Amino acid sequence: MRLAAVERSTTLPVSAEAAFAWHERPGAFVRLLPPWERVSVVEQSGGLADGARLTLRVKYGPASLRWVGRHRDTLPGRRFVDEQVEGPFSRWIHFHRFDPDGPASSRMTDRIEYTPPLGPVGAAADPIIRRRFERLLAYRHVLLRDDLEAHGRFGHSGRLRVAVSGASGLLGRALVPFLTTGGHDVVRLVRGRQTPAQGPSEVYWNLHTGRIESEKLEGLDAVVHLAGENIGARWTADRKRRIRESRAIGTRFLCEALARLRRPPKVLVTASAVGIYGNRGDEVLTEGSATLADAPDFLVEVGREWEAATEPARAAGIRVVMTRFGPILSPAGGLLQRMLPPLRAGLGGPLGTGRQWMSWISIDDAVGAVHHAIMTETLSGPVNTTAPEPVTNEEFTATLARVLGRPALLRVPAPALRLALGEMGEVAVLGSARVVPERLTQAGYRFRHPALEGALRFVLGHETR
């Protein structure tokens, strides 16, 4: 088959040298991976230098394959080339070029040249392959441009040293490469080892043993605390205990350690959740809304304890921002990942009455909001971290079905949800919280995806803007 090619160019708000430097930093490849792709990095070495290699594991349904690429023809500040040396294509080369376009902008061009595998079979599949590459480049170009603009708004702040707990979670996996490609140093707080973490980029902490490597926390600029037990499963007594312990007790343990430091961080951004407001029907909820202390449900109780646990850090003079997240939208995890299989099969529909409000936020706005909270010195206290346009469950389901091109006619009755999910279904699935990000908006945050359909199309790769 003849050689095929896909190409895309975009104007970036930085110089060619700065755009190239972004790609050289740790986490660049991971940051550019579309969330709908099932790709993991096995090994990476050598940066962008000639001969540097990248090994990936690519999954297709239950199967997976190994892909190895090599960099060549690198000209610092202007270009680099990736070439497949092991993988499915008969030939695959990706050219990256950065051309100056004025004193503070550049033109980035990506061109992928390839020959599909399997002769006539691959040739017949070429329209699908081409569309996949077009989606990939469209996503990467929009994400990179938006990331560079976000970092540019705080360019005066310089390079920060930021510790992140929960770095392996849905939000952490996106936040860490966003920060590192922006030029910041990230220290991961890790819990899964019995021995102290190795090297300056990891800090070991363990709530159960009372151990934390406090000396490695000295002199940090910021701490982002995202660690916590997943709430998205049936709440047994043991799971509820783990949820409460990981959030309230774990947060207090970390905050007490930060308060004891000789050089504590300037800011702590800690995760909270819109569940703190309880089931409020159609009421519009801002940070000033009450949290129903007189009749709390489990998520209200946990949320109040979670936020109260930050008091040691606040008392030590650390600026504390409590980001009250709604469901974070990404096909790589969380609510959206769970909704996709039945809807793609044409078996999805609204949950219960469908009238309950969902205060969602896209994964990249969740990352952007945390970054904004770190950088904005006037922001402290509770901050609703949701998109400015919440929707009902019925609207959410219909919009997702439209983006996927599938029907959404099979409503799931509330009694069936209560039977299957118990208290979690009653509180987290059927509960209604119409939350708006008043303080985040007042602090000047610019949403990448204020409306649901645009957010879904972007994270699922169903647009080519």
Nearest-angstrom CA–CA distance, 104 and 309: 44
Q: Span 67-91, mean pLDDT? A: 95
In this structure, what token pair is assigned to residue 174? 């996106």
pLDDT for residue 230: 87
Chain segment 327-357, per-residue pLDDT in tens: 999 999 999 999 999 999 999 999 999 999 9
Tokens at residue 201, please?
A: 């980029």
Q: Which residues, 6 or more positions from 377, have their beta carbon under 8 angstroms from its beta carbon?
A: 267, 319
Amino acid occupying residue 15: S
Res. 249: pLDDT tops 90 = yes
Task: Please state whether beta strands 106-115 and 4-12 pair in parallel, antiparallel, or not at all (unpaired).
Answer: antiparallel
Structure confidence by residue, pLDDT tens digits, 128-184: 999 999 999 999 999 999 999 999 999 888 999 999 999 999 999 999 999 999 999
pTM of the model: 0.95
The arithmetic mean of pLDDT across residues 281-285, rounded, is 97
- pLDDT attached to residue 309: 97
239 pLDDT more than 70: yes
Residue 200's pLDDT band (boundaries 50, 70, 90)?
low
Q: Which residues is 202 bridged to in the sheet?
A: 188
Q: In this structure, which amino acid lies at residue 414?
A: A
Side chain identity at residue 295, one-letter code: A
Is there a contact between 390 and 434 (Cβ–Cβ < 8 Å)?
A: yes
- Spatial contact of 464 and 314, defined as CB atoms under 8 Å apart: no
Closest CA to 464 of 138, 136, 140, 109: 138
Q: Is the pLDDT of residue 198 over 60?
A: no
Q: What are phi and psi of 317, to 5 degrees?
A: 90, 10
Give, as one character, the DSSP assignment of residue 326: -
Task: Find the range with the poorest average confidence among 75-84, 286-295, 361-370, 413-422.
Answer: 286-295
Check pLDDT > 50 for residue 41: yes
pLDDT reading at 194 higher than 60: no
For all residues of the chain together, what is the average pLDDT?
93
**What's 197's DSSP letter?**
P
Q: pLDDT for 350-405, tens place per residue?
A: 999 999 999 999 999 999 999 999 999 999 999 999 999 999 999 999 999 999 99
Quote the pLDDT of residue 195: 46
Task: Please give the share of the chain, as a percent, with pLDDT higher than 90.
Answer: 83
Token reading at 254: 């970390």
* Contact assessment for residue 47 and residue 159, using Cβ atoms and an 8 Å cutoff: no
Q: How far apart are CA 330 and CA 341, in angstroms?
A: 14
pLDDT digits (tens, 9 = 90+) for 159-174: 999 999 999 999 999 9
**Span 205-220, mean pLDDT?**
92
Q: What pLDDT, on the 0 to 100 scale, is given for residue 192?
A: 66
Which of 3.40.50.1100, 3.40.50.720, 3.30.565.10, 3.40.640.10 is the CATH number of 155-460? Answer: 3.40.50.720
State percent of the chain over pLDDT 70.
97
Q: How far apart are CA 236 and CA 51, in angstroms?
A: 52
Residue 271: name the closest of 205, 370, 342, 187 by CA. Answer: 370
Cβ 176 vs Cβ 188: under 8 Å: yes
189-204: average pLDDT: 69
In the block, which residue shows the tokens 């974070």?
Answer: 328
What gap in Å lies between CA 81 and CA 77, rounded to an integer? 13
Asked whether 383 and 439 are in contact (CB, 8 A), the reply is yes
pLDDT at position 295 over 70: no
Given a cut of 60, whether residue 465 has pLDDT beyond it is: no
* Spatial distance between the Cα atoms of 224 and 318, rounded to a whole number of angstroms: 13
Q: What is the topology classification, in CATH, of domain 4-135?
A: Alpha-D-Glucose-1,6-Bisphosphate; Chain A, domain 4 (3.30.530)
Q: Where are the domains of the chain?
A: 4-135, 155-460
| HSE-CB for 298 with a 13 A CA cutoff | 20
pLDDT classification of 196: cutoffs 50, 70, 90? very low
Kindly report the number of other CB atoms within 10 A of residue 111's CB atom. 16
Report d(CA 375, CA 367) in Å as an integer: 13
